């Protein structure tokens, strides 16, 4: 990663977002720059890893095509994304990807797993959102995802219930 990007993403306080929005805007639609930021997800530096994941997710939301060349890598590494803050962002990125066949099955499997085992509301909410996005595109998933969201709403926080209501409305409409 270029020193300028590293400096923008590094900071001494982990819960600060630092300059992630600025980095995402700097990336724009530049695939090479996005690739550098994305590589930071695998950093041993906890702060850099979390910020790189956030900046990559923000840039990918603005331009989904940036993620396409990382699709296989993301799917292959799903078992290795053990850090909650990285799961938070990867779970959102999974909903941005066009997945089919085995890739979709693996993504759904990990989203369901993370939905069950994560305690962090943001990870759960992103898992629910990505599951819903794939269920809208793949109607055969709809009933299963509706059931998962309803179950999570029963035991979840107010934020999970609110997100669940929005997602169920979209699923029942689509």
Say if residue 102 is in the same domain as residue 154.
yes
Say if residue 11 is in the same domain as residue 93.
no
What residue numbers bound the domain in which 23 lies? 1-69
CA nearest to 133, candidates 73, 84, 61, 70:
61
Tell me the CATH number at 118. Answer: 1.25.10.10
Burial level of 3, CB count in 10 A (0-12/13-18/19+)?
exposed
Instruction: For residue range 27-70, list pLDDT tens digits in order.
Output: 999 999 999 999 999 999 888 898 999 999 999 999 999 999 99
Helix, strand, coil shares, percent, the chain, to 5? 80, 0, 20
Provide the pLDDT for residue 16. 58
Residue 166 clears pLDDT 60, i.e. is over it: yes
Number of H helices, E strands in the chain: 11, 0
User: Tokens 């890598």, residue?
Assistant: 73
Residue that finishes a domain, picked among 69, 84, 112: 69
pTM over 0.85? The answer is yes
Instruction: For residue range 79-97, list pLDDT tens digits in order.
Output: 999 889 899 999 999 999 9
Residue that finishes a domain, picked among 15, 48, 69: 69
The total number of structural domains in the chain stands at: 2
Say if residue 79 is in the same domain as residue 98.
yes
């Amino acid at each position: 990663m270029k020193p300028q990007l590293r400096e923008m993403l590094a900071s001494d306080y982990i819960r600060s977002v630092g300059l992630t929005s600025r980095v995402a805007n700097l990336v724009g639609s530049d695939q090479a720059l996005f690739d550098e930021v994305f590589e930071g997800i695998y950093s041993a530096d906890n702060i850099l890893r979390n910020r790189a994941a956030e900046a990559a997710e923000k840039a990918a939301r603005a331009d989904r095509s940036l993620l396409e060349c990382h699709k296989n890598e993301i799917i292959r590494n799903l078992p290795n994304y053990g850090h909650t803050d990285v799961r938070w962002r990867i779970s959102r990125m999974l909903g941005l990807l066009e997945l089919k066949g085995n890739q979709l099955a693996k993504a759904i499997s990990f989203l369901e797993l993370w939905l069950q085992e994560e305690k962090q509301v943001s990870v759960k909410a992103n898992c629910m959102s990505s599951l819903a996005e794939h269920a809208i595109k793949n109607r055969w998933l709809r009933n299963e995802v509706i059931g998962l969201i309803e179950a999570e709403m029963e035991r979840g926080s107010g934020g999970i219930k609110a997100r669940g209501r929005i997602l169920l409305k979209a699923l029942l409409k689509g």
